[in-house]
Structure 1
Amino acid sequence: MSTSQGPAERVISAVRRLIGSLVATGETRLRLAVLELELERDRLLSLLLLAGASLILLSFGIGMLLLMVVVLYWDDHRLLAIALCALVLLILSALLAFKAKRLARRRKLMESTLNNLAQDRHALRPSHESS
Structure 2
Amino acid sequence: MESSQGPAQRLFSAGKRLLSSLVTAGETRLRLVVLELEEERARLFTLLLLSGLSLLLMLLGLGMLMLLVVVIFWDTHRLAAIAISAAVLLGGGLMLALLVMRLVRRHTLLKETLAQLASDRDLVESSRDQPRH
Aligned letter for 1:88? Answer: V
Question: How far does residue 89 in structure 1 lie from its aligned partner after superposition?
Answer: 0.5
Whole-angstrom CA distance in 1 between matches of 2:83 and 2:45: 36
Number of equivalenced pairs: 128
Equivalent position amino acid for 2:119 in 1: Q
Give structure 2 stretches of 5+ with no counterpart: none
CA distance in structure 2 between the partners assigned to 1:129 and 1:8 by the alignment:
24
Residue pairs, 1:87-102, within 5 angstroms: 87-102=87-102
**For 1:68-123, what per-residue CA distance to the aligned partner results, in whole angstroms no more than 9, with x for missing partners?**
11111122221111111000001111111222222333342111110110111122
Partner of 2:39: 39
TM-score, normalized by length of structure 2? 0.88
Q: Aligned ranges for residues 118-129 of structure 1 at < 5 Å? A: 118-125=118-125, 126-127=128-129
Root-mean-square deviation (CA), in Å?
A: 1.7
Distance in 2 (alpha carbons) for counterparts of 1:106 and 1:61: 31
- List aligned pairs for 1:41-56, cutoff 5 A: 41-56=41-56
Aligned to 2:18: 18
| 1:128 Cα deviation after fit | 6.4
Note if 1:66 corresponds to 2:66. Answer: yes
Mark the runs of 5 or more structure 1 residues left unpaired by the alignment.
none
